[in-house]
Amino acid sequence: MASLAQAAVALLLAAGPAAAQPMAKLVPGESRIAFVSKQMGVPVEGVFKRFDAQIAFDPKKPENGSVALQIDTASASIGVAPVDMELPKAVWFDVARFPKASFQSSAIKAMGDGRYEVLGKLSLKGHARELAVPVTIAQAEGKSVASGSFTLRRLEFQVGDGEWRDTAMVADEVQVRFKLTLSDGL
């Protein structure tokens, strides 16, 4: 019996500090991940319709928290049927080979006044890049809302390959905007 208890304690310690953090649940219908690119200089907004997040976070000890986000790349939509039919293809998101994009935090830093910097790795279309993502957390109607935006370069992830590498047609910079509504735990 003592060895079972010791094994349980060792497992909890191995899980790390994030295991002690409260786990928040994503409220999908109140959450959004959007991307804005410029096509021939005109902003075009799209969304990912399906995604999930596992967030362990205590605002009193943000450094012990963690964020894991998975995005279904086949759910990308600009709202224009012919374009939406192109997005899953190999030139863009290559959904057949890379059905998910992901973000995994490596550190969370408090910046004051409900603002945080979440450091981590974004993996998209077989390429990974380290990012620093500014996040603001606010309370609303008994839920926590984590929101922010950051800019990435699509060509670093080979999104819009081949003839679409021409940044005069589609800009390299893409702004990602998110609002994650969370219940329980924050």
Q: What is the CATH number of domain 18-183?
A: 2.40.128.110
Q: Does 121 score more than 60 pLDDT?
A: yes
Average pLDDT in the 55-69 region? 92
Average pLDDT in the 145-162 region? 95
Q: Does 27 score more than 80 pLDDT?
A: yes
96 within 8 A of 117, measured Cβ to Cβ: no
Q: Does 12 score more than 80 pLDDT?
A: no
Rounded to whole angstroms, how far apart are CA atoms 104 and 180?
Answer: 15
**What pLDDT, on a 0 to 100 scale, did the predictor assign at position 139?**
87
| pTM of the shown model | 0.84
Q: Write down the H helix ranges in the chain.
A: 2-15, 81-86
Average pLDDT in the 52-72 region? 93
What is the distance between the terminal CA atoms of the chain, rounded to a whole angstrom? 35
Interacting residues of 10 by C-beta distance below 8 A, sequence separation 6+: none
Vertex 99: Cα angle to 96 and 100 (nearest 5) = 160
**What pLDDT, on a 0 to 100 scale, did the predictor assign at position 185?**
55
**Residue 114 pLDDT class (50, 70, 90 cuts):** very high
Which residues, in sequence order, are bridge partners of residue 65? none
Rounded to whole angstroms, how far apart are CA atoms 152 and 157?
Answer: 9
Choose from 16-25, 55-64, 84-93, 158-167 the range with maximum mean pLDDT.
84-93
Percent of all residues in the chain with a pLDDT value above 90, rounded to a whole number: 79
Q: Does 16 score more than 80 pLDDT?
A: no
68 within 8 A of 54, measured Cβ to Cβ: yes
86 within 8 A of 77, measured Cβ to Cβ: no
Interacting residues of 30 by C-beta distance below 8 A, sequence separation 6+: 143, 179, 181
Rounded to whole angstroms, how far apart are CA atoms 19 and 57?
Answer: 10
Average pLDDT in the 122-138 region? 97
Structure tokens at 125: 């279309």
**What pLDDT, on a 0 to 100 scale, did the predictor assign at position 88?**
98
Q: Does 152 score more than 70 pLDDT?
A: yes
